[in-house]
Amino acid sequence: MCRSIKTLRRKDEKPTDQEIHDAALQFVRKISGYRAPSRVNTAAFDAAVKEVSVSSRRLLSALA
């Protein structure tokens, strides 16, 4: 789906907050169809990036 999103689950090190944010941003861009949202959609776009980041961190922490 998003070829520029790299796998963040690694055996040797945990992903950085920046890596998780970048992956979430790419995901939200792909789903929304916006590279950069309009002013009226910025709050919703930014909230989605934050939620995806939090969910991604939770998932990566829970995986064995």
11 within a domain of the structure (yes/no): no
21 within a domain of the structure (yes/no): yes
The number of distinct structural domains making up the chain is: 1
42 within a domain of the structure (yes/no): yes
- What pLDDT digit, counting tens, does each position of 3-54 carry? 666 788 888 888 999 999 999 999 999 999 999 999 999 999 999 999 999 9
| Cβ-proximal residues to 37 (8 Å cutoff; 6+ apart), any chain | 44, 45
Look at residue 38 in the predicted model and tell me its pLDDT.
Answer: 95
CB 2 within 8 A of CB 30: yes
Look at residue 11 in the predicted model and tell me its pLDDT.
Answer: 82
Look at residue 4 in the predicted model and tell me its pLDDT.
Answer: 64
pTM of the model: 0.85
Coil, strand or helix: which one is 12?
Answer: coil
* Domain membership of residue 39 as a residue range: 17-62
8 within a domain of the structure (yes/no): no
